[in-house]
Amino acid sequence: MRWQPTRLTRLQLEERRLAAARLLRTHTLSEAEIAREMGVSRTSVTRWKQQWEHDGPRSLQRRRSSGRPSSLSQAQWRHLLDLLQRGAVAAGFETEQWTLPRIAQVIAQTFGVRYHRHSLGRALHARGWSPQRPRPRATERDEALIAAWLRRDWPRVKNSGGRTGSTGVSVAD
């Protein structure tokens, strides 16, 4: 069994259909063999063959993607991702946490375009970026004090339960 990526691009799908059509025209392989070679079902190969015979090679070419076009150009998306990389504080927010409403606000201020948070999340994900929630940490947190406690006190606390036979945890019946 050959490795197949889980998700093919529109260009890769078109290349696969056209390659299958070339194999069909040579009449050297059966539809089942072509299906195995391309990693698709025999039904797909049959459908491609019928499309080719009925409408010609253009029927196997990719079509324009459906749906509303993006409100931002590719250059604007690159600029937005650069702004996001600089951080939320640099964009004028109090904390570094990027949320979809905050990103929508930056887009509205920078480009004058409004995005709903649901469609914005999908658009950002398609461009390889996702807002992350930082782990909450106390501002008073002292890393050196924590490290010292773990080194000095934690082994004693951890081992004290084992000597007396008690784990310090009560189990309700």
Q: Can you tell me the distance from the alpha carbon of 34 to that of 40, in angstroms, rounded to the nearest whole number?
A: 8
pLDDT at 110: 93
Q: Can you tell me the distance from the alpha carbon of 20 to that of 35, in angstroms, rounded to the nearest whole number?
A: 8
pLDDT at 126: 84
Q: Kindly report the average pLDDT of the chain as a whole number.
A: 83
Q: Are 77 and 127 in contact, with CB atoms under 8 Å apart?
A: yes
Q: For residue 51, is pLDDT > 50?
A: yes
In this predicted model, what pLDDT tens digit does every residue of 89-110 receive, in sequence order?
999 999 888 888 999 999 999 9
In this predicted model, what pLDDT tens digit does every residue of 56-67 receive, in sequence order?
878 888 877 777
- C-alpha torsion 7→11→14→15, nearest 10: -100
